[in-house]
Structure 1
Amino acid sequence: MQSDRPIFVVGCPRSGTTMLQLMLHSHPRIAVPPETRFLVPAYFSRKSYGDMRQAENRRRLAEWIANGRNTKFRELGLDKAEFVQTAMMGPGSFGSVIGTVFKSYAERFGKSRWGDKRPSYFKHVDMLMRMFPDAQFIHLIRDGRDCVASLKEMPWYTLDSFHAVSNWAEAIDFGTRNARRLPADTFFQLRYEDLTADPESELRKLCAFIGEDYDPAMCEPRHVARVAVPAHKVWHRNTHGEVTTARSGSWAARLEPWEIALCEEVLGDRLVSCRYELSGAPKAERQHLSAYKAAAGKRRAARWRKRNRDLLVRLREPGPLPALLTDGQRTRAGLPVQRPRELVNG
């Protein structure tokens, strides 16, 4: 039986997750859209939408997704009214409304399986598992020094190098914990450098993990970049070319000496554990270490505040969360597997 489990691509920003998104989207059975911005905000605002067993509440949530200024729904090429109607007629759970967006996107391409890519999801694996209990996660790892160098150059990145260094440390730490606690068929890690050096071998391993046959088109992601990468995202221009190792190790010319020293001092153990060699840079200066610790502390405190607010909402969950769209999701809920195109009125 072919799998219909959702696939989530995660990792530190600028780790190559867009390239991996396109590789997956190149598969004949899988559709992974451009990044959206509704899933996490919707989850943390779920109390305001109420019980999703009520069709009117499903309509309100679906309309916010379809019409919200920052949800990026318009980049999916879906009909708003049709999506809202489908969500209203679909299963009565929060995850089902969210999942209907991605399911509809997959159907646009005649595909039966969907995925989603957003680097910061590495912090929200637990949340995603609550909504999609049969989900699979692919964590892409890239040399932290290259990630920091690339983040610095992004027009949308408004934070400093200290936050960038902390971001990579967070991604690695979350990945380590997720790999330890999640089943082997749920969480998979691979390195950007290995993927670009030998795409076929790495993608064959990846396909074995997600339960799909390898397809050679996955090694040529540039062919779908025009469809799956919005034109305004000029920072993804490299995805329109061949898969290349040219950017690996470019941090040596893109980072300041003090940034290299900071990366290797505070990320050294993590870099080595991920099989990256250190350059032997001198010790970081005290003020840089202090600034890094301050940035890491701010990020940690923000995560805890959000986590604690969410725990309060969980005490009185406004309605069922798990999606009821895939065979695995329905089986877990004790429901029969759906026939194709069958809808369930909540």
Structure 2
Amino acid sequence: MMNTSTLPNEADMRGSRLIIVGGAPRSGTSLFQSMMDSHSDVYGGPEFDHLTDIVNLRNRLQQGLQYGRITHFVDAAQIDDAMGQMVESLLYPVADRHGVSRLSEKTPMNVLVFKDLMTILPGAKFVHVIRDPRAVIMSMYQVAKRIDQAGQTRPPFLSNLEAMALYINQCVHAGVEACGSQAARAIIVRYEDLLSRTEDTMMNLLDFLGLADDRAVLNPGKVAHESASLLKDGSDPWAGGRRTYTDPERENQDKWREDLDPNSIEVLNRLFSAAPVYAALGYNFD
């Protein structure tokens, strides 16, 4: 007779089919997602956008326990399991329709709630994509310019240089802290390594995620991606005229050195060198 006491509890496996991806906007999360979507057993679609909303609802419910009334209905564990079930019910069907066992959900702001998602999705794996913050700033400037040209309103974190740097720092610190707290379930991937050490980086990632070796992930530009349909006519300011996904382009790695003026680079070096986390991640601001 099977000893059921040794089997994992269903709640403990919530999210076991999920790969949750996040990082500061413009850090390379889209490239990483296109690579994951190239795997034969992974669906990596467009951004779901609303995991943060689910986390906010979960946190409001948990706070409600302090006032006593809802304790007649639920406890903390029930709330977390219900939120995990909600995520699964929203995301798993598309993976099932595509006949794959895993789903990669990439929304950059996920990184800000990694810790909470780790609690409600104890079976999920997490990937924090990081990039040299000066390159992120350069890309953010380009997006801000396209937003202005389109007559749209910039999100607050794109309002000025200081706001951009503050938001990048917020994302990086949140992701690094979360990954450090759950090293067996979360991993940090440098955008620069995706470009210059593509094969080693991705094979290590697949092993960490428990996925079979699939070399298609090395060339996402050769794979059809369902989410590419959302690029439409290339007019989306965030897409920058892109109409499809491409293979990793190593020549873009240090483009920020050409596109940022020396004064901006000096300011950014000063801003980011004050945060020790970047040196630990291998970035130099000398």
Q: TM-score under structure 1 normalisation?
A: 0.62
Deviations 1:275-310 (A, max 9, x none): 2233x4xxxxxxxxxxxxxxxxxxxxxxxxxxxxxx
Matched AA of 2:162: F
Matched AA of 2:103: W
Matched AA of 1:197: S
Matched AA of 2:83: F
How far residue 128 of structure 1 moved from its aligned partner, in angstroms, is: 1.0
Please say if 1:181 is aligned against 2:148.
Answer: no
Aligned match of 2:279:
272
Equivalences for residues 182-331 of structure 1 within 5 A: 182=182, 184-224=183-223, 226-229=225-228, 230-232=230-232, 233=236, 234-235=239-240, 237=242, 240-268=245-273, 269-278=276-285, 280=286
Indicate the percent of aligned positions where both proteins have the same amino acid. Answer: 25
How far residue 226 of structure 1 moved from its aligned partner, in angstroms, is: 4.1
2-side partners of 1:8 and 1:42: how far apart?
Answer: 14
Aligned match of 1:99:
88
Aligned match of 2:17:
5
2-side partners of 1:11 and 1:236: how far apart?
Answer: 22
Please say if 1:138 is aligned against 2:143.
Answer: no
Describe the SS at the equivalent of 2:222.
helix
Q: Flag the 1:139–1:115 CA change in 2: closer, same or farther, 3 A.
A: same
Of residues 93, 102, 106, the one that matches 1:113 is 102
1:4 and 1:112 in contact (8 A); partners too: no
2-side partners of 1:178 and 1:241: how far apart?
Answer: 30
Question: Structure 1, unaligned stretches of length 5 or more?
Answer: 49-91, 281-346
How far residue 28 of structure 1 moved from its aligned partner, in angstroms, is: 1.1
Describe the SS at the equivalent of 1:130.
helix
Deviations 1:139-193 (A, max 9, x none): 11111100011011113654222111112222222233223211x3211112111
Q: Flag the 1:141–1:43 CA change in 2: closer, same or farther, 3 A.
A: closer
Describe the SS at the equivalent of 2:170.
helix
Describe the SS at the equivalent of 2:251.
coil
2-side partners of 1:185 and 1:244: how far apart?
Answer: 30
Aligned match of 2:116:
127
1-side partners of 2:163 and 2:175: how far apart?
Answer: 18
Describe the SS at the equivalent of 1:240.
coil
Aligned match of 1:165:
165
Question: Structure 2, unaligned stretches of length 5 or more?
Answer: 1-14, 62-80, 148-153
Q: Deviation above 6 Å: which 4+ runs of structure 1?
A: none
Aligned match of 1:20:
32
Describe the SS at the equivalent of 2:127.
strand
Q: Flag the 1:238–1:264 CA change in 2: closer, same or farther, 3 A.
A: farther
1:94 and 1:131 in contact (8 A); partners too: yes
Q: TM-score under structure 2 normalisation?
A: 0.74
